[in-house]
Chain A
Amino acid sequence: MARAEFQLPPLATATDWVMLGAVFLCSLSFYGFRMLEDRAEGGLVTVVQVGDERVAVLPARKDTVLVVSGKLGEVRIVQQAGELWLEDAPCRLKICERMGHIHRSGEVIVCAPNKVMVRRERVGGEREGTLDAISR
């Protein structure tokens, strides 16, 4: 390419703005939908999964400490006053511990090296009342 032919691309084109705007709206609408879902009827439960296997399902309002065996070792999951967090995990980077506390439906904490996932889910009101911890 001759030197005269080279032109530095612009910072942003109209296509860029359309694409970025559409992505922004998509993300906002998802979070709006999740907020609506959070206000919906039904009980909130905590689902603990190791790999593709559910090892525990328990009501979100129940204060408890769960110790779950993952691929690398034991993960300590704490649920207190409606909040849920991973207190101790054997992974090296501790990203899961730094993901902080979750409390709403659809929120998730993942410990990828250990293959442990903890998430909040909304279920029918009657089901939530009958659930207790189911552990491996």
Chain B
Amino acid sequence: MQSPAEGMAVVGPEPREVRERIERLSLIAAATAFELVLFVLDSALPRPIPWIKIGLANIVTLALLVGAGWRVAAAVHFLRITIGAVLRGGLFTPFFLLSFSGGAVSFIVMALAVRWAIPVLGFLGVSFLGALAHNTVQLLMVAAALSDSSVLVLLWPAVLLFSLCYGGFSGWCSFHFCRRIPQLAEGRLAQALRAG
């Protein structure tokens, strides 16, 4: 009987570069899957205002921004938005455009805040800014679609209040999520990815 190794080329230890790439892809895949689970859960939760979601998926995005760097966080964030739209059957629809634009601006705001404002702001502040940016951009797009700015004046206070509640909640969850994962809490992931 032939042993499994017979007839196969002897493979030495994987080059460091390949191993790091695999680690990075595994991290992105696992985090995207987790974000998608949170995204689906978020969609199923009842909402006091139908067009404002809690933003549970943002918990993972913020944790990755802090603990793994913006490249990994961006990959996971935009993959989740796209796959989430495919799952809902709404890719390239107006809803997708709203979701994508809000998600993109929110990500940029949080990435800049993590890079430049983190000693001054904590998880709560960064998460609130992300939620506010997300909801404000969506509201601006609705106002542009209606060609009427009065909708901004009427709904922005609600956006502020709900961004405060939901952004604060996401920030709190993200902080505890980071604390429970040593690779994120100690910056090992960010360090390894930067070295790679």
Residues of A within 8 A of B (CB): 1-3, 5-13, 15-16, 19-20, 23-24, 26-27, 30-31, 49, 51-52, 92-93, 95, 98-99, 106-108, 110, 112-113, 115, 117, 119
A3–B193 CA distance with the chains assembled, in angstroms: 12
Q: Which residue of A lies closest to B161 (CB)?
A: A27
B190 touches A1 (CB 8 A): yes
Q: Interface size for chain B: under 10, 10 to 19, 20 to 34, or 35 or more residues? A: 35 or more
Nearest Cβ distance between residue A47 and chain B, in whole angstroms? 9
Which secondary structure characterizes the binding site on chain B?
helix
Inter-chain contacts of B126 with A (CB < 8 A)? 9
Known contacts being A1-B194, A3-B187, is A106 close to B168, with CB within 8 Å?
no
Judged by a CB distance under 8 angstroms, whether B104 is at the interface is no
Nearest Cβ distance between residue A125 and chain B, in whole angstroms? 22
Known contacts being A20-B128, A24-B164, A112-B142, is A11 close to B171, with CB within 8 Å?
yes
Q: Which residue of A lies closest to B160 (CB)?
A: A27
A30–B147 CA distance with the chains assembled, in angstroms: 24
Show 16 residue pairs from A and B whose CB-CB distance is below 8 angstroms, ordered by the A residue: A8-B178, A12-B124, A12-B171, A13-B120, A15-B121, A20-B125, A23-B128, A23-B164, A27-B157, A27-B158, A51-B146, A95-B51, A99-B49, A113-B94, A117-B151, A119-B154
Inter-chain contacts of A7 with B (CB < 8 A)? 187
A52 touches B147 (CB 8 A): yes
Q: Which residue of A lies closest to B144 (CB)?
A: A112
B94 touches A52 (CB 8 A): no
A95 touches B50 (CB 8 A): yes
Judged by a CB distance under 8 angstroms, whether B71 is at the interface is no
Given A99-B51, A108-B151, A117-B148, 20 new contacts (CB under 8 A): A1-B187, A1-B191, A3-B191, A6-B187, A8-B66, A8-B175, A8-B179, A8-B185, A9-B66, A11-B171, A16-B124, A16-B128, A20-B164, A23-B128, A27-B161, A92-B95, A93-B95, A106-B154, A113-B94, A115-B145
B190 touches A6 (CB 8 A): yes
Central interface residue in A11, A15, A99, A113, by most chain B CB within 10 Å = A11
Nearest Cβ distance between residue B126 and chain A, in whole angstroms? 8
Inter-chain contacts of B150 with A (CB < 8 A)? 119
Inter-chain contacts of A15 with B (CB < 8 A)? 120-121, 125
A113–B154 CA distance with the chains assembled, in angstroms: 19
Known contacts being A3-B186, A3-B188, A108-B151, is A9 close to B122, with CB within 8 Å?
yes
